[in-house]
Structure 1
Amino acid sequence: MRRTLVRAALAGALALTTACGGGTAAPSGDGPVTITMWTRAATQAQSERLVKAYNSGHRNQVRLTVIPTDNYQPRIAAAAGARQLPDVFASDVIFVPNYTAQGLYLDITDRIGALPFQAALAPSHMKLGTMDGRRYTVPHTLDLSVWFWNKDLYAKAGLDPERGPTTLKEFAEQAATVQRRLGKGGKVHGTFFGGNCGGCYVFTFWPSVWAAGGEVMNAEGTESLNDRPPMTDVFAVYRDLYATGVAGPAAKDEQGPTWTGFFPKGEIGVMPMPSTTLGSMPADLKIGVAPIAGPDGGASTFVGGDSIGISATSAHPDAAWEFLSWTLSDQAQVEIMAKNKDVVARTDLAANRYSAKDPRVVLINSLVGKGRTPYAPRFGQTFNDPQGPWLRVAREAVFGDPGQVTRLNAEITKSLRQ
């Protein structure tokens, strides 16, 4: 109800502004339209490929602006306040509920409903783009968390290079074997993770909780469940990996920017990684890919990436939708996204002529329907903010005093409810 009132109030404010002459005039004539689009730097490569292909084959055109990721949210806020949002803008899927609640996206429920493949759109992205039964965004790019293992290091350590971990316990055992047999020089390590990065923890630890049938929050995103099994079991596994020297020592201070940089160097046996890095790995690095599992099995993934929608103030909603619907077409998803080893936004295209050449890509695509994207109105402040309560909980659980987790978990819930 609160979000309904917020959206209604903003809609009224937008209508008043337009009536007073502050809106953008509707286009006249039947000539081609140029729409504006914003995206954050994290999805620049995919966005540029889509826009280039669209512009080469359509009368309407898209003018893309790429904004540094750290500056993206402030730019959106400033543009919304000044009624200068672009026609379409992408967002980290985690923040979509915030933008929708603020009335920044246009309701495109009926447009989505007319798509013949609407049921195949990435379910986690669609869930976070839905509010009060209405739909406001569609998937733009997807990034999934998976386990990568180095086949050459596995072979040298006496492990089967074709058999990666199927449980979190096996993950720890295989990492420990690599460390014990190859780590004496200090260059090779069994595993690695971003130990001082709140977003890294949620992206790589939470799937093990979901795979075990657990939850990290209640459905409303207002109560933290991170002080109980299976979350505490996951914490314990990683705590032991670091305490015994299996995880690289730099893991404790890794704040996020370089946490994925060690595996491509061939120095890590097995670790959680973003699926989008597969296509940029060195050609001579033999990599296995496995779903993230719980302590005793199961499979899940954190479905990250960006969603995209039409701004509520766009003067060209029809042209904007023509572009967005095209990005979800077979042509765009297969010939642009899949061709470049990106995760497709439709579950019905998981096995396509490009992914079929690489079973690892087929596996990654198949996880889209199994994964989760957690919902919380105050997700960023609580879990991504380096000063937020989640990072204190995770670091205490992995590097400090696990006995403090229950007390600190209450601070997460408090933050979620503010």
Structure 2
Amino acid sequence: MLKRFLAVSMIFVFCVSLLIGCGQNPDVSKQATNPDAAATAAGTQNNSTAEKVTVRMSNWLETEESTKEIFKKLMDDFMAANGNIKVETVGVPFAQYKDQVLIACSSGNPADVIMGNSQMMVAFNGAKSLEPLEKLIKTETISDFYENNLAGTTFDGKVMALPWAPHPNAMFWNKDLFKQAGLDPEKAPATWEEMVAAAAKIAALGKDKDGNQIYGIGYANSKESHAGTVFIGLMYAFGGKFQDESGKITFDSTATKDAMQYLRDLAAKNIMPTGVEQKSVRSLFASGRLGICFDGDMGRGTFRSISGKGAEFDKSMGVAIIPANKTGRSETVYTEHQLGIAAESKNKEAAAALIEYLVGKEAMLNYHKAYGTLSARKSIAALPEMNEDDYMKVFNKQSETASPLPANNPMFDKACLEIIKGVERVTMNNDDIPTVVGDVQKKIEELYK
């Protein structure tokens, strides 16, 4: 009875939030133009005599200090350009977002436009809460996305969401530590072998002036599911795959064992810190105690903030494409924001118009200017405004070879936790690698059943 009461209470709270979510700004006077936006539901755009269509959009952007202003601007600009569509937003904090959206969908009261990320969207699709988009979104819009990005929103051959704000991981290096280790601080490692050799030289520095250990290279390798996704990217670099085309789990492979051995060797030689989450890796890099790390396009802003140096930290930081390893190409994974339409939406065409706008040129340029956001659309990613400096050029280039996380099963997050438990066994307990990899394979198969 208690569980049922709590569930009903959560649904009530979320439904109330749908009614009080942010709406349009009545003071907006700027009329935005957007050639990519779809026509409104009844073709009544800018017809003041037509009845307004209300579209609700769930999101976490308006609940976060860093993104709430740009999100509001995007909504206001859309409504200014689409006079017969009113947008009501439903802001839910990120930590509760996935569960609250699933509750809203199961109660028959979902938002029309559903924001998510790779791990969330697979759960929404698994709950049959999403509408296929091929008949709602323009063909030329869908075909403009990079194939590797679109693969992450395609389930059973149907496009169930559109990529929005991708975050591919690239390689960062600390120029100060490179210089101290006798390396060229302005030259990134061009090959996998050069990267490992540079990391070893930096680790050989030992400790800094305050007695803190200096490490050569860092990967998140503990506790959190994100660390599991980091290992998947590393496994790809060694030529492995999480699953084959039929969906069969293929974690137990020579490539996976090679990737595990690689991490064990780094840990054993004290080149890599163990038992660290991504936030710890970032702190080590920003404090000048880590030579090489891997992070998304938001890394620049993150490192500026953590270091306390602001833009001054840019002088100590380089960024480059991740060197190729066994496959001969730069292998990495990406996370991203995604946009879908609720299967139970009563205003699917108007919802599609909002999504077309958000992934379109005008909105993406504004989002990029405010937050450095990338676009997964080929035509937009190539624009000069999206490549204003070497930093952004690197991430737009890295996007071309970044692979989607294999998050096609609602149990993917738990699978990532099993992976990282395996990494901990190898790097911290020195367990037998083939045994560990086999155990993780079995755990994932059990979860996926």
TM class by smaller structure = 0.7 to 0.9
5+ long unaligned stretches in structure 2: 1-40, 305-310
- Which is worse superposed, 350-359 or 86-95? 350-359
Distance in 2 separating the partners of 1:162 and 1:65: 46
Distance in 2 separating the partners of 1:61 and 1:265: 46
Distance in 1 separating the partners of 2:362 and 2:61: 24
1:230 aligns with one of 255, 260, 266: 255
- Give the total of aligned pairs: 385
Relative to structure 1, is the Cα distance of residues 258 and 69 closer, same or farther in structure 2, using a 3 angstrom cutoff?
farther
Relative to structure 1, is the Cα distance of residues 202 and 169 closer, same or farther in structure 2, using a 3 angstrom cutoff?
farther
Q: Verify the 8 A CA contact 2:222 2:421 in the aligned structure 1.
A: no
1:120 Cα offset (Å): 2.3
Q: Verify the 8 A CA contact 2:113 2:342 in the aligned structure 1.
A: yes
Instruction: Name the amino acid aligned to 2:320.
Output: A
2:439 match: 408
Q: Percent identity?
A: 20
Relative to structure 1, is the Cα distance of residues 357 and 131 closer, same or farther in structure 2, using a 3 angstrom cutoff?
closer
Corresponding position: 1:169 with 2:200 = no
1:397 match: 426
Distance in 1 separating the partners of 2:260 and 2:61: 32
Relative to structure 1, is the Cα distance of residues 89 and 206 closer, same or farther in structure 2, using a 3 angstrom cutoff?
same
Deviations 1:363-418 (A, max 9, x none): 2112223121124314435324x4xx322222223222134324313323423531
Corresponding position: 1:268 with 2:296 = no
2:319 aligns with one of 285, 289, 295: 289
- State the TM-score, normalizing by the size of structure 2: 0.77
2:53 aligns with one of 33, 41, 45: 33
Alignment of 1:365-376 (within 5 A): 365-373=396-404, 374-376=406-408
1:232 Cα offset (Å): 1.9
1:233 Cα offset (Å): 1.8
Distance in 2 separating the partners of 1:43 and 1:358: 30
Corresponding position: 1:104 with 2:164 = no
Distance in 1 separating the partners of 2:62 and 2:204: 36
5+ long unaligned stretches in structure 1: 1-25
Distance in 2 separating the partners of 1:42 and 1:274: 21
Distance in 1 separating the partners of 2:396 and 2:413: 30
Distance in 1 separating the partners of 2:344 and 2:277: 37
1:383 aligns with one of 400, 407, 415: 415
Question: For 1:260, what is the secondary structure of its paired residue?
Answer: helix
Distance in 2 separating the partners of 1:347 and 1:338: 18
Structure 1 vs Structure 2 CA RMSD: 2.9
- Which is worse superposed, 321-330 or 66-75? 66-75
1:136 Cα offset (Å): 1.9
Relative to structure 1, is the Cα distance of residues 366 and 120 closer, same or farther in structure 2, using a 3 angstrom cutoff?
farther
Q: Verify the 8 A CA contact 2:172 2:293 in the aligned structure 1.
A: yes
1:20 match: none
Relative to structure 1, is the Cα distance of residues 144 and 371 closer, same or farther in structure 2, using a 3 angstrom cutoff?
same
Relative to structure 1, is the Cα distance of residues 97 and 277 closer, same or farther in structure 2, using a 3 angstrom cutoff?
same
Alignment of 1:24-63 (within 5 A): 30-40=50-60, 44=64, 45=66, 49-56=70-77, 57-58=80-81, 59=83, 60-63=85-88
Alignment of 1:77-226 (within 5 A): 77-112=102-137, 114-181=138-205, 183-184=207-208, 185-225=211-251
1:299 Cα offset (Å): 0.3
Relative to structure 1, is the Cα distance of residues 207 and 355 closer, same or farther in structure 2, using a 3 angstrom cutoff?
same
Distance in 1 separating the partners of 2:234 and 2:419: 17
Relative to structure 1, is the Cα distance of residues 376 and 235 closer, same or farther in structure 2, using a 3 angstrom cutoff?
same
1:127 Cα offset (Å): 1.9
Distance in 2 separating the partners of 1:405 and 1:55: 52
- Which is worse superposed, 169-178 or 39-48? 39-48
Distance in 2 separating the partners of 1:65 and 1:152: 45
Corresponding position: 1:342 with 2:373 = yes
